Amino acid sequence: MLLRILELVGIATFAASGALVGVTKRLDVFGVCVMGVFTALGGGIVRDVLIGVHPPTSLVSPANLGTAFGVSFVVMFLHSVVTKMRRQILVLDALGMGLFASTGAVVALDHGAGALAASLVGATTAIGGGVLRDILVNEVPLLLQREFYAVPALIAAALVGVVVDLGLPTDIGLVVGTAFAFVLRVVSLWRGWGLPTARVHE
């Protein structure tokens, strides 16, 4: 039950961040809702396509769709209030990222994927929605920028595979992966960490 609640919190947070991008780009209410839904559910849909789950879970879950759409709709009209909560949203986004990466890896393992494939699928679950969001508004995806986001997601998913390979319960893998990614992401935001970029001489 707790895991399900946390999953819905992650969906709500991702939807809010996607909807805010739509508001910033001055999209209409439909466009804002599309941005929110794609950001919140896109990674899970890509995951299910990769591992052969048809139809994708999020498309047949009223709770997932309803949460993503409802939050996006609210953000459309209360965006000024939501924008003031940017710091809290970033923290919840970090939690959602770690949770989605870990659960994505577990789902992939449950469907017969190896440890490496599960790690990649888990990371894709966490970052896929954001990539779709950025593509929709013609922006360079966040994971290709200096932002420290994709690496924590990949590590979280890999940790799930390691824990399961050690013969420990899946729940432990979920906790370890989610907690590690969450802490790493929050610390990177606090300290301003990012991956190195190439030095270009003009």
**Other beta carbons less than 10 A from residue 113's beta carbon:** 19
pLDDT tens digit sequence for 143-167: 776 678 888 999 999 999 999 888 8
pLDDT tier at 2 (50, 70, 90 boundaries)?
A: low
Q: How many domains does the chain have?
A: 1
Q: Which domain holds residue 142?
A: 2-191
Tell me whether residue 41 is in a domain: yes
Distance between CA 126 and CA 143 in Å, rounded?
11
From the number of C-beta atoms within 10 Å of its C-beta (0-12, 13-18, 19+), residue 82 rates as buried
The β-bridge partners of 147 are: 194
Tell me whether residue 167 is in a domain: yes
pLDDT tier at 201 (50, 70, 90 boundaries)?
A: low
Tell me whether residue 10 is in a domain: yes
Distance between CA 124 and CA 130 in Å, rounded?
10
Task: Report CA torsion sign: 51, 22, 151, 180.
Answer: negative
pLDDT tens digit sequence for 65-107: 999 999 999 999 988 887 787 788 788 888 889 989 999 999 9
From the number of C-beta atoms within 10 Å of its C-beta (0-12, 13-18, 19+), residue 52 rates as exposed
Tell me whether residue 30 is in a domain: yes
Tell me whether residue 201 is in a domain: no
Structure tokens at 150: 């994709």
From the number of C-beta atoms within 10 Å of its C-beta (0-12, 13-18, 19+), residue 166 rates as exposed
Tell me whether residue 197 is in a domain: no
pLDDT tens digit sequence for 94-147: 888 998 999 999 999 989 888 889 999 999 999 999 889 889 888 877 777 667
Give the list of residues 6+ apart from residue 66 with CB closer than 8 angstroms, or none: none
Tell me whether residue 25 is in a domain: yes
Distance between CA 119 and CA 158 in Å, rounded?
5
Distance between CA 156 and CA 112 in Å, rounded?
19
Q: pTM of the predicted model, to two decimals?
A: 0.87
Closest CA to 6 of 93, 80, 88, 66: 93
